[in-house]
Amino acid sequence: MINGKKVGLCLGSGGARGLAHVGVLQVLEENGIVPDVISGCSAGAIFGAIYAAGTNLYLLEKYLGTVDAKTIIDLGIPIQGGFLSGDKIEEVVMTLTHDLSFGETRIPFLCIATDLVSGEMKVFEEGKLHKAVRASMAVPGVFTPALIDGHYYVDGGVIEELPVDVLRAQGVDVVITSDLGIKRNFFDPEHPSPVDILRRSTDIMQARLTRQQVDKGDVVIRPDASFMGLLKINGYEESVSAGRQKTLEALPRIRELLGLDMPELIQQEGLPAGGQELA
């Protein structure tokens, strides 16, 4: 807690745009604002789990520079529900979370997924981190659904891209959200394909749902990483930088809510941070 206030951090979904979350986490940690509990969805689940497990954020940023398509893309069989099996990303997450379970993290962590049969939201808070993250990031049609304990799960963003309510249920006093916003896919209204229309309609629907969740947060950080695609890793430095910049802008409000003095902000890149090595 900070001055008796329990702090929650909510990291939203957004594919490779989620790399901006790394910059958000870096600036918060550099300024002594470490959340008491973290919630994440899809990309937010990936980086929330990695941070909760204790991985050093600056080593993580360096690691991102070594990642290419071969590291994360593994073609599946479309008839099984997705073009990518998701096994490679799950292996990366398992390594970066040190194969920890939820109860072993240095910061309590929650992530959400969507039960494909019941349509209900699943809040994961036990079991292996990488298994739950794999479920949370299973973008429908892109990744095959994740099978856990007899249930098939897809991306939590189908229901809730910003899981704020799960933090409130933990008794959090101040919720900080990192919202990656609507995907700015190119859309030509004069010559749309059926896929274009479906994709754009889904974007609009999810943006409206997200706005409802954003209103429940106390501080909203909105990094602009719209130049990133679903699995595009190139440009990670710009994404991290966008997360850093928007968090620096939000710091005065965060410190006000937490009753903290406003010292000279720490803005240098690459300051050492605590936490475990990558592997």
**Six-digit token pair at 107?**
């910061």
Q: Which of 42, 136, 178, 239 is catalytic?
A: 42
Query: 144, 168 in Cβ contact below 8 A?
Result: no
Is 178 an active-site residue? no
Q: What is the Cα–Cα distance from 84 to 78, expressed in whole angstroms?
A: 8
Q: What is the Cα–Cα distance from 28 to 20, expressed in whole angstroms?
A: 13
Query: 10, 162 in Cβ contact below 8 A?
Result: yes
Is 193 an active-site residue? no
Q: What contacts 122, CB < 8 A, 6 or more positions away? A: 112, 113, 114, 115, 135, 151, 153, 156
**Six-digit token pair at 135?**
């479920």
b (16+ CB within 10 A) / e for 90-113: bebbbebbbebebeebeebbbbbb
Q: Which of 155, 178, 179, 239 is catalytic?
A: 155
Q: Which residues are catalytic?
A: 42, 155
